[in-house]
C-alpha cells in the first residue's frame, strides 16, 4: 500500500490544524505503509518514508485581482503535483487547496481518492473577505471533490452531519476519524525563561490563546471579553497570520481599546512560536481559551489538555466531543443556534459569557489543576495518532479492494 498526501501545509510551513494533522498522520502512517507527501513549498526529502516533494509557483506575472491570485497559484501547484508521475495506490487530500490536484490524480491515474474534511467552505462565509469571487470557486471545488471521493473522512461526528446535510454523498462513504496528539511531545514542560522572553510575568497566572487571526477562531471576541475579566488577570495572546488587512486592523484596535481600560497585563505575541516554546506556554497557563465560532475539531485543545491545562471553549463543532464540561474544562454556548456559525454570534453576550467562564476557573487553581490532570488522561485514552493511522490504513484497504 502506498498513500499520496496532497496538502498545502507541511513542515516547516505549518500554520493551522490541517498542517499539524498532515505532519503527524503522515509520520505515523509511514510506520505502517509507504507514504509520499506533495505540498506547497520548497521541501524535498528523498530516500525516506515519507518522501516529500514541495511545489512552488511564480505569481509575479499575474494581473488578476489580488484576492484571487492565491486561488490560481493553488491550481497551478495542483497541476504540478500531477505532472510528476504518481505511483500511489490511493490519493489523500487535505483542504481545498489540494482538491483540484486530487481530482486530476483520481481521473488521470485511476486511483481511489480519500478526502479529509478539516473544515467546510459553506460554513466559512467570512472567507469571501479574503478570496473575493475566489470563494465561489472554492465552494464549487470542495463540493465537486467531496461528492466524487471514494471515501470522506470527517474529523468529528458533527462535521459528518454537516457533510451529509450540505452535500450529495452517500452516508456509507463518510467516516469519522478524529485528529490526535503526540503525548510524549506535548506534555507538561516548565521553563520561566521562555515566559520572560515574551514579556510574560511568571508570578501572575494567565489565560492563553494560540491561533490565527481569523473570523473562524473568534480571537476578536476574546479580546472584547477582556474588559469583563477580573482585574489583575494576565492575558497572553499568541495570535498572528491575519487573514486580511481589515481583520488585522480590527484586532489592533480591539487590543488598544482593551489596554486603555483593563487593569491587567495583556501580552500579544504576533510570531508563530516554535513548538517547544508553545508547549511551555500551554504548561504554565492556568486556563486555555478557544473562542472559535466554527471548529470542526480543534486540535489546539488537545495540545493544551496534553499539557494539563483546562480549556474554556465554544460549544461548537468537534470541541463538544473533546472537552468534557466540568471535567476537563468549560463549554460556552453561542448566543443563538443557526445553521451558519457566522450568524450565531451576539458579540456582547458571547464576550460576557467567555469572560464568566474564564473568571470561574482562574479563581480556582485547585479545580484547574484537577481538570488539567483529567484532560491529559482523556488525551492519552482517546486521541492517539498511532490509532488514527491504523484506522486510516484500514479505510485505504477497504476502497482499494
How large a percentage of the chain has pLDDT more than 70? 98
pLDDT of 96 reads 96
User: Residue 383, Cβ neighbours under 10 Å: how many?
Assistant: 22
- Output the CA torsion 238→18→42→36 (10° steps): 150
- Which residue pairs, CB below 8 angstroms and at least 24 apart, start in 43-52? 43/10, 43/11, 43/12, 43/13, 50/5, 50/26, 52/10
CA 118 – CA 96 distance, rounded (Å): 9
CA 331 – CA 354 distance, rounded (Å): 9
Residue 115's contacts (CB-CB under 8 Å, 6 or more residues apart) are 92, 93, 99, 102, 145, 146, 149, 151, 152, 153
Give the mean model confidence (pLDDT) for residues 44-56.
97
pLDDT of 124 reads 86
Query: How many Cα atoms sit within 13 Å of 288 on the Cβ side?
Result: 33
- Which residue pairs, CB below 8 angstroms and at least 24 apart, start in 23-30? 24/180, 24/181, 24/182, 24/385, 25/180, 25/385, 25/388, 25/389, 25/392, 26/50, 27/385, 28/385, 28/386, 28/388, 28/389, 29/3, 29/389, 29/392, 29/393
pLDDT of 343 reads 56
Q: H helices of 264-318, where?
A: 275-284, 299-306
Higher pLDDT, 293 or 51: 51
Q: H helices of 262-325, where?
A: 275-284, 299-306, 319-322
Q: Which of 189-193, 226-230, 241-245, 292-296 has the lowest mean pLDDT?
A: 241-245
Identify which of 287, 330, 322, 324 has the alpha carbon closest to the alpha carbon of residue 308. 287
**In 3-state terms, what secondary structure has residue 158?**
helix
How far is C-alpha 18 from the chain's CA centre? 5
Residue 280 φ/ψ region, left for φ over 0, alpha for ψ in the -120 to 50 degree band, beta for the rest:
alpha
Q: Which helix (DSSP H) or strand (DSSP E) does residue 370 occupy?
A: helix 365-382
- Per-residue pLDDT reduced to its tens digit, 96-113: 999 999 999 999 999 999
**In 3-state terms, what secondary structure has residue 326?**
coil
Q: What are the residue ranges spanned by the domains of the chain?
A: 2-180+384-399, 192-382
Which residues lie across from 240 on neighbouring strands? Answer: 212
339, pLDDT greater than 60: no
pLDDT of 30 reads 98
Q: What angle do CA 231, 368, 324 make, to 5 degrees?
A: 120
Give the mean model confidence (pLDDT) for residues 146-161.
96
CA 356 – CA 3 distance, rounded (Å): 46
pLDDT bucket at 352, cuts 50 / 70 / 90: very high
399, pLDDT greater than 80: yes
- What CATH architecture is 192-382? 3-Layer(aba) Sandwich (3.40)
Residue 312 φ/ψ region, left for φ over 0, alpha for ψ in the -120 to 50 degree band, beta for the rest:
beta
398, pLDDT greater than 90: yes
196, pLDDT greater than 70: yes
User: Residue 206, Cβ neighbours under 10 Å: how many?
Assistant: 22
337, pLDDT greater than 60: no
pLDDT of 207 reads 98
How large a percentage of the chain has pLDDT more than 90? 86
pLDDT of 344 reads 58
- Cell numbers for 370: 484537577
Note whether 55 and 38 are within 8 A (CB).
Answer: yes
CA 136 – CA 125 distance, rounded (Å): 10
340, pLDDT greater than 80: no
Assigned CATH for 2-180+384-399: 3.40.50.2000
Give the mean model confidence (pLDDT) for residues 193-206.
97
Q: Which helix (DSSP H) or strand (DSSP E) does residue 137 occupy?
A: helix 134-148
CA 169 – CA 296 distance, rounded (Å): 18
- Per-residue pLDDT reduced to its tens digit, 274-333: 999 999 999 999 999 999 988 999 999 999 999 999 999 999 989 999 999 999 999 998
Measured distance between the N- and C-terminal CA atoms of the chain, rounded to whole angstroms: 11
33, pLDDT greater than 60: yes
Q: H helices of 51-133, where?
A: 66-83, 99-109, 128-131
pLDDT bucket at 224, cuts 50 / 70 / 90: very high
β-bridge pairing 151-154 and 174-176: parallel
Q: Which of 134-148, 220-234, 342-356 has the lowest mean pLDDT?
A: 342-356
Average predicted confidence (pLDDT) for the chain:
94
Note whether 28 and 20 are within 8 A (CB).
Answer: no
Tell me the whole-structure pTM to 2 decimals. 0.85
Q: Answer whether 2-180+384-399 and 192-382 agree in fold.
A: yes
pLDDT of 243 reads 84
Amino acid at each position: 500500500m502506498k498513500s499520496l498526501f496532497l496538502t498545502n501545509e507541511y513542515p516547516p510551513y505549518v500554520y493551522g490544524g490541517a498542517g499539524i494533522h498532515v505532519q503527524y498522520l503522515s509520520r505515523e502512517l509511514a510506520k505502517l505503509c509507504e507514504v509520499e507527501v506533495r505540498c506547497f513549498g520548497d521541501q524535498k526529502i528523498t530516500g525516506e518514508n515519507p518522501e516529500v516533494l514541495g511545489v512552488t509557483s511564480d505569481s509575479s506575472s499575474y494581473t488578476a485581482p489580488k484576492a484571487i491570485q492565491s486561488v490560481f497559484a493553488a491550481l497551478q501547484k495542483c497541476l504540478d503535483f500531477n505532472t510528476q508521475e504518481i505511483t500511489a495506490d490511493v490519493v489523500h487530500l487535505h483542504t481545498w487547496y489540494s482538491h483540484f490536484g486530487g481530482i486530476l490524480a483520481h481521473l488521470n491515474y485511476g486511483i481511489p481518492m480519500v478526502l479529509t474534511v478539516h473544515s467546510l467552505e459553506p460554513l466559512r462565509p467570512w472567507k469571501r473577505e479574503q478570496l473575493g469571487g475566489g470563494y465561489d470557486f472554492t465552494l464549487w471545488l470542495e463540493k465537486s471533490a467531496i461528492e466524487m471521493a471514494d471515501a470522506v473522512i470527517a474529523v468529528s461526528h458533527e462535521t459528518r452531519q454537516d457533510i451529509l446535510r450540505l452535500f450529495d454523498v452517500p452516508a456509507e462513504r463518510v467516516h469519522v476519524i478524529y485528529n490526535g496528539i503526540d503525548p510524549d511531545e506535548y506534555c507538561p514542560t516548565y521553563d520561566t525563561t521562555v515566559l520572560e522572553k515574551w514579556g510574560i510575568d511568571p508570578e501572575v497566572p494567565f489565560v492563553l490563546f494560540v491561533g490565527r487571526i481569523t473570523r473562524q477562531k473568534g480571537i476578536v471576541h476574546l479580546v472584547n471579553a477582556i474588559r469583563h475579566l477580573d482585574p489583575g488577570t494576565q492575558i497572553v495572546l499568541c495570535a498572528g497570520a491575519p487573514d486580511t488587512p481589515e481583520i488585522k486592523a480590527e484586532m489592533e484596535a480591539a487590543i488598544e481599546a482593551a489596554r486603555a481600560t483593563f487593569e491587567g497585563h495583556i501580552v500579544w505575541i504576533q510570531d508563530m512560536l516554535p513548538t517547544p516554546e508553545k508547549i511551555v506556554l500551554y504548561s504554565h497557563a492556568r486556563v486555555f481559551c478557544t473562542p472559535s465560532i466554527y471548529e470542526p475539531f480543534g486540535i489546539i485543545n488537545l495540545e493544551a489538555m496534553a499539557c494539563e491545562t483546562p480549556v474554556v471553549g465554544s460549544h461548537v463543532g468537534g470541541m463538544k466531543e473533546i472537552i468534557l464540561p466540568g471535567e476537563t474544562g468549560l463549554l460556552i454556548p453561542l448566543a443563538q443556534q443557526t445553521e451558519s456559525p457566522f450568524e450565531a454570534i451576539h458579540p456582547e453576550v458571547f464576550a460576557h459569557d467567555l469572560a464568566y467562564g474564564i473568571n470561574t476557573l482562574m479563581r480556582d487553581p485547585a479545580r484547574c489543576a484537577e481538570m488539567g490532570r483529567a484532560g491529559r488522561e482523556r488525551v492519552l485514552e482517546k486521541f492517539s495518532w498511532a490509532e488514527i493511522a491504523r484506522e486510516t490504513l484500514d479505510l485505504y484497504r477497504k476502497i482499494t479492494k
